Structure 1
Amino acid sequence: MNYLAHLHLAKLSKTSYSGSLMADFCHASQIYLLPNDIQRGIKLHQFVDKTLDSHPLSVEFRAEQTIGRRRFAGIVQDLLMDYWLVKKWDEYNDISLAEFYAEFLPDLLQHQHQVKPAYQRLVLSLNENRWLQNLGTLKGIEKALMSIIRSWRYGEHLLPFYQALPYLLESSEILFDAVYPAVLAAVEKEALNSEGIKKANQ
């Protein structure tokens, strides 16, 4: 999942917004130095990624890619999930995406200095530019993918996906409609299990 989906799943599971985004910005050895609620958010992020990657339709999506290298297809799928989540935001939420910023940004700003500067730049960008809603447009997805291409040493392998984005966006709605509800259900179940264990240990 990409940024918006991770934040949305943190909201639904009442898990740390900061933890939901920090997972990709800290080493395993750093996680245990963070506050417990952020650690739980990081663990949720990891659970979400594992659940998404193992879903049969995700496996099929990666396997059917003849453009670029299949091992990089997961990065593109993450962006596609955010594209459709923006498009279908009202189906999953009773507040607007603009209102959602008011929920998650204070937490991100409060904890932004606890991991590497790249995460701080992400939080600053989210706060100043409010670009998550742009991920619901072809131009927004193109910009997000090109940012990865330019900043990542393996970015050139994503160029074929960039060129095929119009087709991928059009053809991925069925993928989103099947996979995202399944991930939501798994997260809800995981949250209930975690809450039960927490209460049992009190």
Structure 2
Amino acid sequence: MNYLAHLFLSGDDEDLRLGNFIADGVRGAKLLLYPERVQEGVRLHRLIDSFTDTHPIVAETKERLRPKYSKYAGVVADIFYDHFLAANFQAYSSISLAAFAEQAYALILSRPELLPERVQGFLPYMVQQNWLVGYAQVAGAARALHGLSRRTTFVSGMETAGEELQLHYTFYQQEFERFFPELQAFVEEQITLIEN
């Protein structure tokens, strides 16, 4: 899952949400420098990634993507799934995607002292270009993938992944719709364990 899903799955707890968002930029013992609840958000992010990476439905998606995108199939799948969450956000949330994105950006921007260098690097572009809302359009997901392709060390082919999404849209959407409720249930269980 990508940024939108990680932010959304955190619920209303701001520290948990922030930790979930910054997790990829938090390495090793640096985790212990954060407030406890932010640490829990980082750990939740990792649990979400592990659940997603080992799930048989996600494996179907990655298998379809692997011939074109090899080791980047998982990255492409993450963006595709964020697209489907964004495009159908009203089915999962009581507030609009635009309102959710605005709240998320405001939260992240209000805590600059907790943002890893990696997040500080991309955050201005994320907010200015409104990535979270942009994911709702195939063109927005394609832009994200094209940007990722420019930052990879090896040839990834991700610049063509928008075309792949359009070509097999129904297959990917069905896989997302089968997978996401299971992920939601898993995350709700994990948050309950954190709170007890």
**When the two structures are superposed, what TM-score results if normalisation uses the length of structure 1?**
0.86
1:165 to partner: Cα distance: 3.0
Counterpart residue type for residue 77 of structure 1: A
Unaligned runs of 5+ in 2: none
Check whether the contact 1:84–1:173 (CA below 8 A) recurs between aligned residues. Answer: yes
Check whether the contact 1:145–1:162 (CA below 8 A) recurs between aligned residues. Answer: yes
Unaligned runs of 5+ in 1: 197-202
Q: Tell me which residue corresponds to 2:90.
A: 90
Q: Is residue 130 from structure 1 mapped to residue 121 from structure 2 by the alignment?
A: no
**Which whole-Å CA distance do the structure 2 matches of 1:12 and 1:70 have between them?**
36
1:13 to partner: Cα distance: 6.8
Q: Tell me which residue corresponds to 2:22.
A: 22
Q: Tell me which residue corresponds to 1:74.
A: 74
Deviates more, 1:109-118 or 1:82-91: 109-118
Instruction: Tell me the percent identity.
Output: 25
User: What are the superposed Cα offsets for residues 104-129 of structure 1, whole Å, 9 maximum, x if unpaired?
Assistant: 22321133343443301333233333
Deviates more, 1:157-166 or 1:25-34: 157-166
TM-aligned CA distance change 1:25 to 1:169, over 3 Å: farther
Q: Tell me which residue corresponds to 1:43.
A: 43
Q: Tell me which residue corresponds to 1:177.
A: 177
Counterpart residue type for residue 60 of structure 2: E
SS in 2 for 1:93: coil
Check whether the contact 1:13–1:188 (CA below 8 A) recurs between aligned residues. Answer: no
CA RMSD of aligned residues (A): 2.1
> How many residues are paired up?
196
SS in 2 for 1:11: coil
1:66 to partner: Cα distance: 4.9
Deviates more, 1:49-58 or 1:119-128: 119-128
Q: Tell me which residue corresponds to 1:148.
A: 148
**Which whole-Å CA distance do the structure 2 matches of 1:103 and 1:19 have between them?**
15
**Which whole-Å CA distance do the structure 1 matches of 2:12 and 2:78 have between them?**
19
Check whether the contact 1:82–1:135 (CA below 8 A) recurs between aligned residues. Answer: yes
**Which whole-Å CA distance do the structure 2 matches of 1:169 and 1:12 have between them?**
31
Runs of 4+ in structure 1 off by over 4 angstroms are: 12-15
Q: Tell me which residue corresponds to 2:11.
A: 11
Counterpart residue type for residue 38 of structure 1: V
Check whether the contact 2:82–2:135 (CA below 8 A) recurs between aligned residues. Answer: yes
**Which whole-Å CA distance do the structure 2 matches of 1:2 and 1:11 have between them?**
16
Q: Tell me which residue corresponds to 2:119.
A: 119
Q: Which structure would you say has the larger RCO, counting Cα contacts within 8 Å and 6 or more residues apart?
A: 1
TM-aligned CA distance change 1:168 to 1:40, over 3 Å: farther
SS in 2 for 1:32: helix
User: What are the superposed Cα offsets for residues 84-122 of structure 1, whole Å, 9 maximum, x if unpaired?
Assistant: 111111111111112113432232113334344330133
Deviates more, 1:123-132 or 1:145-154: 123-132
Q: Tell me which residue corresponds to 2:190.
A: 190
SS in 1 for 2:95: coil
Check whether the contact 2:62–2:74 (CA below 8 A) recurs between aligned residues. Answer: yes
User: What are the superposed Cα offsets for residues 140-198 of structure 1, whole Å, 9 maximum, x if unpaired?
Assistant: 111100110001213534355355232243421111101111000000111112211xx
1:130 to partner: Cα distance: 2.1
Q: Is residue 34 from structure 1 mapped to residue 69 from structure 2 by the alignment?
A: no
TM-aligned CA distance change 1:24 to 1:169, over 3 Å: farther
